[in-house]
Structure 1
Amino acid sequence: MGNKAWFGGLGYNNKVFIHQYLIIIIFLYSGSDLFQIQRAVALGVAYPERSSLGNKARTPQPLTATTVKTWCPPLPASEVFSLNIVINQFKSKVTSPSISSSYCMNTLRNYGYIINCECGSEVSHITEIILNKLGLNGYIDDEVGNLPWLKKLVLSDNNLQGSIPFSLGSLLHLETLDLSNNQLTGTIPSSLGDLSSLKWLYLHYNYLEGSIPSTLGKLSSLQDLYLDFNMLSGSIPDELGSLYNLLKLHLAENRLSGSLPTTLANLINLISFEVSGNELSGPLPNVKNWSKIEYISVQGNNFEGEVPAEYFNLSSLQYLFISDLHNSHPFKLPHSANVSNLYGLVLRNCSITGSIPEFIGQISSLIHLDLSYNTLTGTIPESMKSNMIYMDLSYNNFSEIDIPVPDLDLNLFACCCCQSSKTTEPYMLQPPEMMKANFPGKKPKFYNLFINCGGEETYFNGTRYDADNETTRFHSISSKRNWAFSFSGDFFTPTVNTSDYYTKRVPCKISNSQSSIYESARLSPVSLNYYAYKLYKGKYNVTFHFAEIVFSKDYDRLRKRVFDVYIQGKRELRDFNIRDQAGASDRAFNVTIPTEVNNSIMHIHMYWAGKGSWVNAPNFNGPLISAISIIPDFPVGGEKLSPWLVALITVASFVIVLLLLLTIAWLMGWLDDEELKEEIQVGENIDEGKSGSTTRTTDQATEDKDEIKAEMNIDKDQHHNITVAVKKLSHRYKGKINEIVKGEIYNLKSLEDKNLIRLWDAHIGEHQQLLVYEYMEKRSLASVLFDSDKSELSWKDRFDICKGIAMGLKALHKRPRGKIVHGNIKTANILLNEHYQAKLSDFGLAKVYSEEDQFSVIKAETTKGYLAPEYFQLSEPTTETDIYSFGVVFLEIVCGQQNKVRKSKQETVFLLDEVHSYREEKLLKLVDKSLEGEFKDREASNILKLAKMCTDIAPTVRPDIADIVSVLSGKKTINEIRSQSLKASNDVGADASTSMEKC
């Protein structure tokens, strides 16, 4: 081997001889996106002629072994060029020096990142690039494939985006490739199968899609293959069974399907096998030849059949995790085994019957045992009193529990079929028997239930929620004895401060006026059950209140909480992810599900089926719930009603009849417009068209008004009213309302952002369509700017309004569950509360505007000057047309005048034309004169420059809403987002040119 030198130095001066490694430590800076020669010129790098490099540049030649030298030969010009290109595509807060051919002999140390080189007799080569955990942005350039002597490439734990370069396949000396924990997209290049020297391949925790390339089966030297926690699909290729040197195969948490290849039985050196959290089916893997295996996890799939006896004869096995096997017939465990090194054994929900074998209690190393959710019978063997720390035998059919197990976390909830001994406690029985044992002779007397899961007793929307802050292990019955909970799983944590593990409490971050129920939550490692006892027979609606309050940090983005929700034994939600459904952490999301009670008991079961994050403390990735409400969907009866309840029902019936009569009279035009006082029914069930029981009292409404003010009752006892705004949609859209708005209404109601108007409710009827919104005291921005004394808006108010509506539009455009195009942004649709806080309204209706009577809408809006020029050529609004309208609004706010001003019948002046005629340094002349001496030059200049960019005639040049928010928040400059917009526009132009050339 030749001498090895590490770039950089160890603090010695230039006269010191370096015999081993010199460390190059470089600081990276954000590179340009030019072509290779252009980038070389910009970096001051001489771009080598590829033809002059010959085979030496393309096919690495062996380094000549030499004696120890006091210096390193220069790097080849090709490697200097490629290395500069690669490192300058990474974006960092600090700047890196350019790499020159003499860097191998550089003795100066730059604290930062490590790049290693190896010295030969005449030439040096780059052999290692290690840039992990540095918070790098950017992408991996194709030029990395032109560093032919590279042995180690480690870019893990950064924020790199883009795809994995195909050119990596040319690095024939590469032994380690670690790109894990980034944001890489695209597919896994098939060229990676050409890396004949590769031993360790780590691509886990990214967003990679597509199938696993079969070419990976050619990597005969491969020892570790980590592809878990991506979005890979398809089947596992048979060719992976040819990796005879493979030690670890991790494919968990993808979307893989089909059966496991039978060729995997050939992996005789395997020590770790992880495929949990996929959609794999068929039989479990054949492990007969896996004599060295230590870890097997196949949880959260659709595997079928029994657990083969060979699994219990793997002498090296330390952890075996199997769950949720699909079997038509239960099976029994073998009577004997050879698994003396086993530490953890999970066989949950596997249809296992019969008694627990004696050998399980005889495994001295076993500390964690989970046999829950099976149909085990008999008794617990005497041998179970071993060294185990945790044992879960819940939800089985044992005949009796006669053996106490001291100093053990033992979960025996619902583990017995009957109460046959003095040691069988009520909580050990199945739920029906449990209720009889706890409440003998009691008849049902409850028809609703409200639980603040994990928290104290509280009031929410006028309703009292029971406390659920018990931290007893595994189960508890409420003080009212009308409900209970149980959970299973182990947190693998010390037993002190157990409340930190069973319940979570955080400072409220939910943007909700009544958010007390979201400050706490109950969580469970595996299974969380709630039982509501003594309920009347009938139909009920169960509402689940969720908010992800545990995974709320930036570094939690790779952690997934995925679980199923069952009601009365029926799975209602599968692979439910709170954060995905809510759109972010610390955001409320509610789900209402109908069900039925026939035997006085309602069973709610939340179950972690092995999906989501299995690594990184999987014990905290199980079900989490903030609150549960159970409300009857039938007239309350069955017992003599109290006098006040009879009176309430009578009054409510009268009000409903009166409401219907007044609504009919109003629709028929029988009531005077100026004196109309009416009840508008808006609690309608949209799916079934049935009337609900919530009413709003209007203060003023006329047929020719599109919006009316009303009061909304939010308390079932009718003690709390709030003022709301009721928007009447045009009759010409009623056909589309039934098809489109009904489909969008639940999405709109779930949107909760401080800069978006809250949609409280809706009424969708044959002759009337109403949307009930949050009421804003100052009404629209248009009325404040143009219809009244605009001097009441200070500069601070106007700047905050600009920032607020930008954040509101960002919430729509960047919605994780799918962007929402507003389609009708104007000052009339920006509403202000009493403190001049701005909120966007009228969003979510773009489909209505674009689907029916489109031209008339365009014509009406165009006269106001808010629509982008390309709107006439499009079939529907886009985010770019939203940005254009948004820019017009910016101008009107800062300038204090409408975009379109008609000076005479023959002359109309547009503010937009005036703005685009000004040079940037003159824009401040356009600021509203009433703000002179008050506004801040930089803020006003930024807004006006943004307005010009937003209203550019070319849609691709307009800035992204996230960049606009960054400028207003001081995180980016105008020049930064301008260069990004131009780059994006050039990229689009280049793509278009390429397409034309191909045509």
Structure 2
Amino acid sequence: MFDNYIEGPVPEFIQNLTNLTDLRMYGMKLHGPIPKAFSNLINLETLMLGDIEGNHSTFDFIADWANLSTLSLRKCGLTGQLPNTPPMSNLTYLDLRSNNLSGPIRLLLPYKNSNDMYIYVGENNFTGEVPSEIVQASVALDVSYNRLVNGPLPNSSDGQKWPINYIGTSIDASGTINSEDLTILNCHRRKECNRNNVTNPATSLAINCAGKQMKYSDPLPTVFSEDSTDLGGAGFHVNTASHWVVSHVGSDPFGKSPGIVSTSQDIPGTNISVLYQTARTSTSALWYYLMGLANGKYTVQLFFAEIVIVDGPGRRLFDIDIQDQNIKKDFDITKEAGGPRRPTNITHEVIIDNSILIIHLYWSGRGTCCIPYKGAYGPLLSAIKVFPFQDLKISPPPPQAPPHSARQDEKRRGVVAGIAALCIAGAVISSSVLYLWWKWVSLVKRPMA
């Protein structure tokens, strides 16, 4: 059950369906707590609950689910610590993002059962060092935005980066990334980039999401930075040249969920079609952090075109925040653009006062999940452009004189007529005086007889 407007508590009758193997409920308006009697569902292989309102749920419903391979409890209002449950020997996918869980993050160890785990526990309140066993066993590991998670990461034997997203934590990354990347990450941790971090504050920035660098003039030349790094199921990339970071978490447990998508089809209605032919996407959350911007007012422009769900009844819905403020809820690219493979843009004004701009796109369980393939859902973004705000308001016209009444017009005509009469009278008198003067001169000059 998903993508509908069912409201009320989590249905308790489900606890009686003891032969149930697959239970999925998200994108609705349910509220907790999750019934404790869900522990009766001992045959579950997949349990996916999400978007349950209220911080009322605990792990009392967790049982010895020996057959469970997928456990997703994203944004379910869960509180407290992880239970030390019996090992779930078949578990390969664990998603506990966006709850209020606390305690040492090492409590994840009982949930590790293989060397190809997908673990998402970001946006909680875990503490302490991430066990090396968890890092080394993960295909994707998300511990982002657990600010008290700390310690170093284990060294990689082959020198490759671990598939981990630790943005927003206190993890010491000095041994795993270069100093330039670390400088940019420190800007984010301090929530400000000062002169010691970025020597040349920028006033504009553009990114070709999932695409190569490209130049475009509209009307001034704009260079869209390359953003083609594959981030897997969890990771981030630092662009040291332009001072920005892209962060991604999310994968679908049942199908492909590529973080980069593209099309060779033309995008009509724009003279920069190539900009819309690639996009970053995520089944959970996508962030862009633009560092080192000079403080001031900016225009943020986001570029979209639906290039994946182009046929059938599928719908992609997601939310958009800028500077932690929601600007779009259940944003539908196809609806806004008037169809798939058509461009649409969002323009938003924002004030930067700490030199950092944060753009956050995320899935809230709405829309379809499996059209045209499993994993075709969540945010999708083609490009970003940020430039100084320009007030293009047209100056108001000068005030016009108020209209005159008929009486005022009559009075004005009378005044004009009076002035005209005086002018005529003056002209007649002047003519008479000139005539008499001329006659007198003529008599004076006449010779005497």
Measured against the shorter chain, the TM-score band is: 0.7 to 0.9
Matches within 5 A, 1:392-791: 392-397=142-147, 398-404=149-155, 410-417=163-170, 419=172, 422-423=175-176, 426=182, 432-433=188-189, 440-442=196-198, 445-455=201-211, 456-459=213-216, 461-462=218-219, 463-473=221-231, 474-478=235-239, 480-490=241-251, 501-552=259-310, 554=311, 557-615=312-370, 617-633=373-389, 664=398
Higher relative contact order (CA 8 A, sep 6+): 2
Matches within 5 A, 1:111-510: 251-286=1-36, 287-302=38-53, 304-311=55-62, 313-326=64-77, 331-356=80-105, 357-360=107-110, 362-364=112-114, 367-384=117-134, 387-397=137-147, 398-404=149-155, 410-417=163-170, 419=172, 422-423=175-176, 426=182, 432-433=188-189, 440-442=196-198, 445-455=201-211, 456-459=213-216, 461-462=218-219, 463-473=221-231, 474-478=235-239, 480-490=241-251, 501-510=259-268
**1:434/1:470 Cα in 2 relative to 1: closer, same or farther (>3 Å)?**
farther
**1:305/1:506 Cα in 2 relative to 1: closer, same or farther (>3 Å)?**
farther
Q: Is the 8 A contact 1:281 1:304 kept in 2?
A: no
Matched to 2:208, the amino acid is N
Unpaired runs of at least 5, structure 2: 402-449
Q: Is the 8 A contact 1:280 1:303 kept in 2?
A: no
Q: Is the 8 A contact 2:18 2:42 kept in 1?
A: yes
**1:615/1:464 Cα in 2 relative to 1: closer, same or farther (>3 Å)?**
same
Q: Is the 8 A contact 1:540 1:631 kept in 2?
A: yes
Q: CA deviation at 1:412?
A: 2.5
Taking the aligned partners of 2:134 and 2:307, their CA distance within structure 1 comes to 38
Aligned to 2:437: none
Q: CA deviation at 1:551?
A: 1.7
- 1:611-655 C-alpha deviation (Å, 9 max, x unpaired): 3233354434221112222233379xxxxxxxxxxxxxxxx9xxx
Taking the aligned partners of 2:364 and 2:68, their CA distance within structure 1 comes to 23
Taking the aligned partners of 2:272 and 2:108, their CA distance within structure 1 comes to 55
Q: Is the 8 A contact 1:563 1:622 kept in 2?
A: yes
Cα RMSD after superposing both structures: 3.5
Taking the aligned partners of 2:104 and 2:374, their CA distance within structure 1 comes to 29
Taking the aligned partners of 1:368 and 1:598, their CA distance within structure 2 comes to 37
Q: Which has the higher helix share?
A: 1
Matched to 1:369, the amino acid is I
Taking the aligned partners of 2:326 and 2:81, their CA distance within structure 1 comes to 27
**What SS is found at the alignment partner of 1:517?**
helix
Q: Which moved further from structure 2: 594-603 or 510-519?
A: 510-519
Matched to 1:271, the amino acid is T
Taking the aligned partners of 2:294 and 2:135, their CA distance within structure 1 comes to 43
- 1:360-392 C-alpha deviation (Å, 9 max, x unpaired): 454237622111222322111143266543322
Unpaired runs of at least 5, structure 1: 1-250, 636-651, 669-999
**What SS is found at the alignment partner of 1:313?**
coil
Q: Is the 8 A contact 2:293 2:355 kept in 1?
A: yes
- 1:305-349 C-alpha deviation (Å, 9 max, x unpaired): 34414325323322111112346xx52212343322212111111
- 1:739-758 C-alpha deviation (Å, 9 max, x unpaired): xxxxxxxxxxxxxxxxxxxx
**1:529/1:535 Cα in 2 relative to 1: closer, same or farther (>3 Å)?**
same
**1:574/1:664 Cα in 2 relative to 1: closer, same or farther (>3 Å)?**
same
**1:298/1:427 Cα in 2 relative to 1: closer, same or farther (>3 Å)?**
farther
**What SS is found at the alignment partner of 2:202?**
coil
Q: Which has the higher strand share?
A: 2
The structure with more radius of gyration? 2
**1:563/1:414 Cα in 2 relative to 1: closer, same or farther (>3 Å)?**
same
Aligned to 1:769: none
Aligned to 1:177: none
TM superposition score normalised by structure 2:
0.75
Q: Is the 8 A contact 2:39 2:63 kept in 1?
A: no
Matched to 2:215, the amino acid is T
Q: Percent identity?
A: 25
Matched to 2:352, the amino acid is V
- 1:425-445 C-alpha deviation (Å, 9 max, x unpaired): 728957533787997343562
Taking the aligned partners of 2:104 and 2:255, their CA distance within structure 1 comes to 31
Aligned to 2:427: none
Q: CA deviation at 1:501?
A: 4.6
Matched to 2:378, the amino acid is G
**1:404/1:493 Cα in 2 relative to 1: closer, same or farther (>3 Å)?**
farther
**1:275/1:358 Cα in 2 relative to 1: closer, same or farther (>3 Å)?**
closer
Matched to 1:484, the amino acid is V
Q: CA deviation at 1:485?
A: 1.3
**1:341/1:477 Cα in 2 relative to 1: closer, same or farther (>3 Å)?**
closer
Matched to 2:346, the amino acid is V
**1:387/1:399 Cα in 2 relative to 1: closer, same or farther (>3 Å)?**
closer
Matched to 2:244, the amino acid is W
**1:434/1:312 Cα in 2 relative to 1: closer, same or farther (>3 Å)?**
farther
Matches within 5 A, 1:23-38: none
Taking the aligned partners of 2:200 and 2:191, their CA distance within structure 1 comes to 11
Taking the aligned partners of 1:297 and 1:418, their CA distance within structure 2 comes to 29
Matched to 1:263, the amino acid is F
**What SS is found at the alignment partner of 2:152?**
coil
Q: Is the 8 A contact 2:184 2:291 kept in 1?
A: no
**What SS is found at the alignment partner of 2:170?**
coil
Aligned to 2:439: none
Taking the aligned partners of 2:199 and 2:280, their CA distance within structure 1 comes to 29
Taking the aligned partners of 1:620 and 1:333, their CA distance within structure 2 comes to 30
Q: CA deviation at 1:505?
A: 4.1
- 1:885-923 C-alpha deviation (Å, 9 max, x unpaired): xxxxxxxxxxxxxxxxxxxxxxxxxxxxxxxxxxxxxxx
- 1:821-861 C-alpha deviation (Å, 9 max, x unpaired): xxxxxxxxxxxxxxxxxxxxxxxxxxxxxxxxxxxxxxxxx
Matched to 2:246, the amino acid is F
Matched to 1:609, the amino acid is S
Q: Is the 8 A contact 1:460 1:514 kept in 2?
A: no
- 1:792-820 C-alpha deviation (Å, 9 max, x unpaired): xxxxxxxxxxxxxxxxxxxxxxxxxxxxx
Taking the aligned partners of 2:276 and 2:286, their CA distance within structure 1 comes to 18
Q: CA deviation at 1:404?
A: 3.7
Taking the aligned partners of 1:504 and 1:439, their CA distance within structure 2 comes to 38
**1:380/1:427 Cα in 2 relative to 1: closer, same or farther (>3 Å)?**
farther
Q: CA deviation at 1:503?
A: 4.4
